[in-house]
Amino acid sequence: MRNDFFLNMITQELSQYQFGSHIRYKLSAIKRSIARHGVHTLFQNRYGKRLHQNGIWSAWGAWSECSRTCGGGIMVQTRNCINRSSDSRFIQKHRKRRFNSTAHGCIGLYKRIHLCNAKECPFGTRDIRSEQCSAYNMRKYKGSHIFGNHSYKLKKSVL
């Protein structure tokens, strides 16, 4: 029952995105793992120990404004992990349990990203990539200045 809930949740959440074949393969492997072994297998560390969640998630915040007005930007939504270990009742209840390498604040994503304003920019406006790259014009990289596709070294004059 619980596994079916998580399978449906993952399928619905991910159906709105388009992924490459490598990621689709990984997602199908996760779904098969849940179907065979249960949802707890998603929350194991590399030693096979189950991870203990030592916190709870806050509600998702509001979506940020789109980072670009045109040409493709992103909106971000975040949430916070509220650590329960500072709660004295939680500490007393779990005093004997050791939160070592298997302890985590919260399990899951703290940030969601959504693409926005994918329409092309009007003719004559600067492309975001050229804008970002131009910030590094005439800066040294490994002792050379780079201009276009050519790099050159500044020679010291001997006077």
Q: How is the chain split into domains, by residue range?
A: 1-43, 49-140
In eight-state DSSP terms, residue 84 is G
In eight-state DSSP terms, residue 93 is H
CATH 1.25.10.10 fits 49-140, yes or no: no
68: Cα separation from own chain's centroid = 19
The structure tokens 């709870």 sit at 56
Looking at residue 101, its pLDDT comes to 36
CB atoms closer than 10 angstroms to residue 146: 15
From the CA atom positions of the chain, what is the Rg in Å? 24
Counting residues of the chain whose pLDDT is more than 70, the rounded percentage is: 40
Given a cut of 80, whether residue 98 has pLDDT beyond it is: no
Confidence of residue 99 (pLDDT cuts 50, 70, 90): very low
Q: Which of 21, 19, 41 is nearest to 31 (CA)?
A: 41
CA dist 156 and 151 (Å) reads: 16
Lowest mean pLDDT among 24-28, 84-88, 126-130: 84-88
The structure tokens 């910030």 sit at 135
Confidence of residue 64 (pLDDT cuts 50, 70, 90): very high
